[in-house]
Amino acid sequence: MPRWKPMLLATLLAIVPIMGCGGITQKAQQRQSRLDIVKKRGKLLCGVDGDIPGFSFVDESGKYSGLEVDVCKAVAAALFDNPEAVEYRNLDPTERFTALNGGEVDMLSCTTTWTISRDTSVGMEFAPTTFYDGQGMMVRKDSGIRTLQDLSGKSVCLQTGTTTELNLTDKMREARINIETVTFQKGDPAYKAYAEGRCEGMTSDKSQLIARRSTLPNASEHILMDVTMSKEPLGPVTVNNDSAWFDVVKWTTYALIEAEELGITSANVEQMKKSDNPTIRRFLGVEGALGEGLGLTNDFTARIIKHVGNYGEIYERNLGKKSQFNLDRGQNDLWTRGGLLYSPPFR
């Protein structure tokens, strides 16, 4: 064998591991969690609607408020001990999943319904439900419309790109009712068209209809029909196949619920750290290392509650008795009070 051949073979064998390491490094970069990206950036990019009072609404001064905005703030508080370390992006239903999959936002908190297709083929990961809702129908009080059958031959306004459109189609098909649907990409034009009388009905989640009704001229002239056309579990969303980031959003959401069950509020959280109750001490990070498993500080829940409050506080100021809507908790109450909110153990 010529002397150069063993040298060439040795050189190739030396190069292959380097290429392999390079390939592994590239894959590792591709697998980098959104958690690391957000931490390095120093702020959260949160996709919201921005036009729904009580959930996510931006006022004339640019200030955001609402239950879903507070969820974004809670995640920022857990990460940075600063609920204002958030940049909000207003997204309509037709662009929100593309924005999330493309990395334009880190998470969605914009009245997004959890469905099997979105959880699988669309590639989303749904955190715990923060609001249990159902699709309703709003009509003018003087229209005489009180049942779905009364809508036969009439028109209904709705926003496209949502579960609303499919639910309405299914319900009307089931009831054998023919209606005309007038669709809009964004919410504002849809409600404007309804207010102008271009549609006899307006359909969306009941909570959104109540919130939007408050912005209509002569709001008292509009009523919600006594009908629920669907189940609408709404909650935060992350991109699929990133368990580290998903776990942070998931357990931040659960922390809001667990804090209310434990009686921990923004007003008493510091005092509760002195409790002898091992469950409370573990939850607040006084004992144990639950936060480290998430890549957070062990007091991440205390940060959340200090800055944002528990779920009950968030609900009451945005949708409940301390808000203009005065909505009862109903199914959005704790499981201990007959509601659907339930957190796994923090242990």
pLDDT tens-digit readout, 264-277 = 999 999 999 999 99
**Tell me, what DSSP letter sits at residue 149?**
G
Please give the structure tokens belonging to residue 127.
């955190």
Under the banding of pLDDT at 50, 70 and 90, the label for residue 161 is confident
**Beta strand pairing status for 201-205 and 232-234?**
unpaired
CA torsion sign, 142 to 148 to 154 to 157? positive
CATH of region 135-230: 3.40.190.10
Mean pLDDT of the 276-280 span: 98
- CA dist 295 and 221 (Å) reads 51
Q: Model confidence over 313-347: pLDDT tens digits? A: 999 999 999 999 999 999 999 999 999 999 999 99
Angle at 219 between CA 233 and CA 54, to 5 degrees: 35
Give the model's pLDDT for residue 15.
41
Mean pLDDT of the 32-51 span: 96
Helix (H) / strand (E) containing 34 = helix 34-41
> Which residue type occupies 277?
N
Give the model's pLDDT for residue 30.
52
Give the model's pLDDT for residue 23.
39
Q: Model confidence over 178-193: pLDDT tens digits? A: 999 999 998 899 999 9
pTM of the predicted structure, to 2 decimals: 0.88
Please give the structure tokens belonging to residue 329.
């908790």
Helix then strand then coil, % of the chain, to nearest 5: 45, 15, 40
Chain centroid to Cα 279, Å, comes to: 27
Give the model's pLDDT for residue 162.
86
Mean pLDDT of the 155-162 span: 92
Mean pLDDT over the full length of the chain? 91
Q: Does pLDDT of 287 surpass 90? A: yes
Q: Does pLDDT of 6 surpass 90? A: no
Residues of the chain with pLDDT > 70, as a percent, come to: 91
- CA dist 94 and 162 (Å) reads 8
223, 141 in Cβ contact below 8 A? yes
Mean pLDDT of the 141-164 span: 94
Q: Model confidence over 238-259: pLDDT tens digits? A: 999 999 999 999 999 999 999 9
Boundaries of every domain in the chain:
36-132+234-333, 135-230
Spell out the long-range contacts of 58-66 with Cβ–Cβ below 8 A and sequence spacing 24 or more: 58/88, 58/90, 64/88, 65/318, 66/318
Topology classification of domain 36-132+234-333: D-Maltodextrin-Binding Protein; domain 2 (3.40.190)
**Burial of 318 per CB tally in 10 Å (0-12, 13-18, 19+):** buried
Q: Does pLDDT of 7 surpass 50? A: no
Q: Does pLDDT of 230 surpass 70? A: yes
Mean pLDDT of the 199-214 span: 94
Helix (H) / strand (E) containing 58 = strand 56-58
Tokens 């359909």 map to which residue? 203
Angle at 191 between CA 72 and CA 236, to 5 degrees: 20
Mean pLDDT of the 49-54 span: 93
Same fold, 36-132+234-333 and 135-230: yes
Which of helix, strand or coil describes residue 31? coil
Mean pLDDT of the 153-165 span: 92
Give the model's pLDDT for residue 3.
47
